[in-house]
């Protein structure tokens, strides 16, 4: 599902250059949940952004579901992020003015899905993440754990093949974090997705099928 080959990413130049990623190569099989671990500043977010087409490497190749991400034009990257890849962020990324149901349904609106089909899909996803009765609540009326569940439901709306999660439990208390981690594991299995999750949490690492460890922009043995 994911094939990363010799990826380098440098910010700046000369003596002040920051080598965020150096010759990173790995593969992720379809249906696999991989934990990406490493200290803050190790390059985890940069790597996830490159795999998801948000950032581009200086060198190397990234292939997702048979598509060469690193050679796509902007329109191709936009289609990939809309139809193939979904993101979950540490800060939830919800729109405060919209209800939970409207946040979840936003990707389906962008796809111009008919209203009745959209409403059915949204209701199904909110039930899946345990928030079937919270559809009318806005983010500021919900706990951190509930907001992250809404973010997960939104990520699943378009039935992505690849889920990318960047420290999804970083702002949650222990109980909420455990629930969200178990939910991610469950939806990956239920939806047949592939997932790469950056995390410091030993429970999330234990739930993963495999661990990839990054230190100072290089992959090391776990």
pLDDT of residue 222: 53
pLDDT of residue 218: 96
Find, among 148, 188, 186, the residue nearest to 168 by Cα.
148
Instruction: Look at the alpha carbons of 98, 99, 105, 107 in this order and tell me if their dihedral is positive or negative.
Output: positive
pTM reported for the whole predicted model: 0.90
pLDDT of residue 203: 84
Q: What is the DSSP letter of 180?
A: H
Q: SS3 for 34?
A: strand
Q: SS3 for 162?
A: strand
* Structural domain boundaries in the chain: 31-40+74-220
pLDDT tens series, the chain, 222 aa: 999 999 999 999 888 999 999 999 999 999 999 999 999 889 999 999 999 999 999 999 999 999 999 999 999 998 898 889 999 988 888 999 999 999 999 999 888 889 999 999 999 999 988 899 999 999 999 999 999 999 999 998 888 999 999 988 888 888 888 888 888 888 888 888 999 999 988 888 898 999 999 999 999 975
What CATH architecture applies to the domain 31-40+74-220?
3-Layer(aba) Sandwich (3.40)
Contacts of 75 (CB under 8 A, 6+ apart): none
């Amino acid at each position: 599902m994911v094939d990363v080959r010799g990826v380098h990413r440098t910010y700046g130049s000369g003596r002040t250059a920051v080598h965020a990623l150096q010759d990173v190569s790995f593969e992720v099989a379809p249906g696999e949940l991989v934990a990406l671990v490493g200290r803050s500043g190790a390059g985890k977010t940069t790597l996830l952004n490159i795999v998801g087409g948000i950032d581009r490497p200086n060198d190397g190749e990234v292939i997702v579901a048979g598509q060469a991400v690193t050679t796509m034009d902007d329109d191709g990257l936009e289609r990939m992020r809309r139809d193939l890849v979904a993101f979950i962020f540490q800060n939830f990324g919800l729109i405060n003015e919209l209800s939970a149901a409207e946040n979840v349904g936003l990707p389906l609106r962008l796809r111009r899905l008919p209203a009745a089909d959209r409403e059915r899909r949204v209701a199904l996803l909110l039930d899946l993440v345990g928030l079937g009765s919270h559809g009318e609540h806005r983010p500021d009326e919900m706990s951190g754990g509930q907001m992250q569940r809404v973010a997960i439901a939104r990520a699943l709306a378009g039935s992505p093949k690849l889920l990318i999660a960047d420290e999804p439990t970083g702002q949650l208390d222990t109980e909420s974090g455990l629930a969200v981690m178990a939910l991610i594991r469950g939806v990956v299995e239920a939806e047949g997705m592939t997932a790469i999750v950056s995390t410091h949490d030993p429970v999330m690492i234990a739930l993963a099928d495999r661990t990839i460890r990054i230190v100072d922009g290089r992959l090391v043995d776990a």
